[in-house]
Amino acid sequence: MNKKLKLVFFFLVTFSSCVLFSGCTFPRIIVLKDPLSPVEHVNLGVAYEKKGEIDLALKEYKRAAKELPIAYLYIGNVYYQKKDLDKAEKYFKKTIKKDPKNADAYNNLAWLYYTKGRNLEEAERLVLKAIELNSSKVDIYSDTLSKIRELKKSNGGILERK
């Protein structure tokens, strides 16, 4: 065998042994601290969401939620988009629990109840709370309120779906 072939053979055998028998280690990069802040994770999630990559967005929001309660609202919104209304409800409620002054969480939970056609009395109470908390979005929240009231009226006293 010529020298080059022997050298290639030597490296192949050595590499194979390392892989098969874990006899040697290869250098790895270990990140001990997340280089992104929770706000940056939310921003990255929003960027993914705008591109339609909602599973990647969800992953980023969950990373942020460990330290940033508003991320629960974003998680709820993603589950709403995915039509997983039970999980969306869970995260909207979690947002309210962690950040009781977050008007959007109240409105979104009210809209979710409207979508499900249930808990309409609670939905109305929630959206009124949203208006109380953030009057600058009264137009948006009033739209939710009017839809809920229309649905309640059209039910005409019929029991709500559970």
pLDDT, tens digit, for every residue of 64-76?
998 999 999 999 9
Residue 125 has pLDDT above 60, yes or no: yes
Q: What is the pLDDT of residue 35?
A: 85
* Tens of pLDDT, residues 76-118: 999 999 999 999 999 999 999 999 999 999 999 999 999 999 9
- Indicate if the pLDDT at residue 7 is higher than 80: no
Taking the model in full, what pTM does it have? 0.75
User: Residues 105, 126: contact at Cβ < 8 Å?
Assistant: no
Name which residue leads in pLDDT, 123 or 66.
Answer: 123
Evaluate whether 78 touches 86 at the Cβ level (below 8 Å). Answer: no
Burial of residue 118 (CB within 10 Å: 0-12, 13-18, 19+) is: middle
Model confidence at 57: pLDDT above 60: yes
Amino acid at 157: G
pLDDT band, residue 162 (cuts 50/70/90):
very low
**What would you report as the CA-atom Rg of the chain, rounded to the nearest whole angstrom?**
26
Per-residue pLDDT of 30-56, as tens digits, reads 656 778 999 999 999 999 999 999 999
Report, as an integer, the average pLDDT of 149-156.
87
Contact 136, 122 (CB under 8 A): no
